[in-house]
Amino acid sequence: PAKASSVIVEGPTMGTHFTVKLRHDDVKLIDTANKRIPEILNSIDAMMSTYKPDSELSRFNQHQSTAPFKVSPEMIEIFQAAREVSDATNGAFDITVGPMVNAWGFGPEKKTAPPTDAEIAALLPRVGYKMIAVDTAASTLRKERPDVYCDLSGIAQGFAADKVAAMLDGLGIANYMIDISGEFRTRGTNDSGQPWQIAIERPDTPERTAQLVVPLSNVSLATSGDYRNYREIDGKRFSHEIDPATGRPIQHKLASASIVTETCTLADAYATALMVLGPEKGLALAEQNHLAVYLLVRNAQGDFDEVQSTKFTERMTWQATSTH
Ligand code: FAD
């Protein structure tokens, strides 16, 4: 049989970078995949970017009304997934936190100064995931307040990885690793027939070093952290992970949260929720919901304590020995 050829498809997407490694013995299929991957990523960018004023999400955000707003099936799908994670994390993950994200300078408008307490207090009533109603039958979204503003940056990369995976599965490509800005989805094995070896980064290091390498096959892994996307104001570090309850960036010792789940959409959203919950509540949620979670917590020695949920430890032992 023809030798399987493996290729790497990569490039810019959603203000960040993607890499897809895939292997198959039919070069024509590989070419089709090569073309379809950027098409899928560009279509999701056009639907869900808050950086594009004419994206579907931006047009919903500009829709200052409580009347239902017609959206695509993909938007219904991602809003439902976001709601599922908001419900499961008691609102720690909340896409309506958008006005606070922008006020702290982590959105499309560049900001110099942090918001005042008065500005935060004025914006907070606009935050609350229950103020969005999803009508699947009519394919519409509805706001309970005209000024609700949603930000999908904490879930849309994972969603995009799932859409790329669905396309590759449809083509019958059985070995691939999708990486969209640190959200991973895998199937099958790498070129040496082993599970894909995915590195979880050590936080706070200028060069990228691995804290832990995780063998993955047929699952997703997402990591959220406070060490890449943050702002320093008067020597204080403000993370882009915002607590919807306070409207302020998180202030705790959790430097990064990783989670292994089946779909990348859920992994991406849960990773952000875990960062908002912090080390204690995050681990409690993981144990309660049997989530495979790995936390890096800053300790007094300037190093990190590694905390694994029961499910994560179980999965790592199991995954290292099997590739199906
Ligand atoms: P994650 O940890 O996965 O998510 C954190 C992000 O989620 C925060 O940045 C914030 O936006 C949001 N968030 C914060 N707190 C919460 C919370 N409690 N609940 C829910 N969400 C929360 N960036 C650019 O600079 N230029 C672009 O053109 C651009 N285009 C984009 C297009 C799309 C479709 C998307 C989804 C994002 C785009 N981005 C762009 C943003 C960038 O790609 C990343 O999304 C951003 O840096 C955060 O991704 P992350 O994986 O690092 O963070």
Extract the tokens encoding 285: 């949620």
- How high is the pLDDT of residue 157? 98
Are 9 and 27 spatial neighbours (Cβ–Cβ below 8 Å)? Answer: no
Are 50 and 59 spatial neighbours (Cβ–Cβ below 8 Å)? Answer: no
Over residues 77-106, mean pLDDT: 98
pLDDT in tens, 101-135: 999 999 999 888 899 999 999 999 999 999 999 99
Is it the case that residue 232 has pLDDT exceeding 90? no
Atom of ligand 1 nearest to the CA of 224: 2
Q: How far is CA 161 from the centre of its chain?
A: 10
Dihedral sign (CA 130, 136, 141, 144): negative
Extract the tokens encoding 101: 């994200």
pLDDT in tens, 3-21: 678 899 999 999 999 999 9
Ligand 1 close to Cβ of residue 223 (< 6 A): no
Amino acid at 269: A
Quickly tell me which residue has 């979880």 as its tokens. Answer: 200
Are 228 and 190 spatial neighbours (Cβ–Cβ below 8 Å)? Answer: no
Tell me the pTM. Answer: 0.96
Å from CA of 24 to ligand 1 middle: 32
- How high is the pLDDT of residue 323? 45
**C-beta contacts of 72-75 below 8 A and 24+ residues apart:** 72/47, 72/139, 73/139, 74/44, 74/47, 74/159, 74/163, 75/47, 75/48, 75/141
Q: What is the three-class DSSP state of 278? A: helix
Å from CA of 253 to ligand 1 middle: 21
- How high is the pLDDT of residue 324? 42
Å from CA of 157 to ligand 1 middle: 8
Is it the case that residue 67 has pLDDT exceeding 50? yes
Q: Whose CA is nearest to atom 29 of ligand 1?
A: 15
Is it the case that residue 304 has pLDDT exceeding 60? yes
Integer-rounded Cα Rg, in Å, for the chain is 20
- How high is the pLDDT of residue 207? 85
- How high is the pLDDT of residue 227? 81
Å from CA of 170 to ligand 1 middle: 28
pLDDT in tens, 239-294: 999 999 999 999 999 999 999 999 999 999 999 999 999 999 999 999 999 999 99
pLDDT in tens, 28-49: 999 999 999 999 999 999 999 9
Ligand 1 close to Cβ of residue 241 (< 6 A): yes
Extract the tokens encoding 93: 């993950």
- How high is the pLDDT of residue 234? 80
Q: Which of 106, 153, 179, 243 to mutate to test the pocket of ligand 1 (most atoms within 8 A of CB)?
A: 153
Over residues 77-86, mean pLDDT: 98
- How high is the pLDDT of residue 318? 62
Å from CA of 153 to ligand 1 middle: 3
Q: Whose CA is nearest to atom 18 of ligand 1?
A: 93
Give the span between the Cα atoms of 255 and 110, in whole angstroms. Answer: 24
**C-beta contacts of 104-110 below 8 A and 24+ residues apart:** 104/231, 104/238, 104/240, 104/242, 104/248, 104/249, 105/231, 106/229, 106/231, 106/240, 106/242, 107/50, 107/151, 108/50, 108/51
- How high is the pLDDT of residue 205? 81
- How high is the pLDDT of residue 235? 81
**Which phi and psi (to 5°) does residue 224 adopt?**
-120, 145
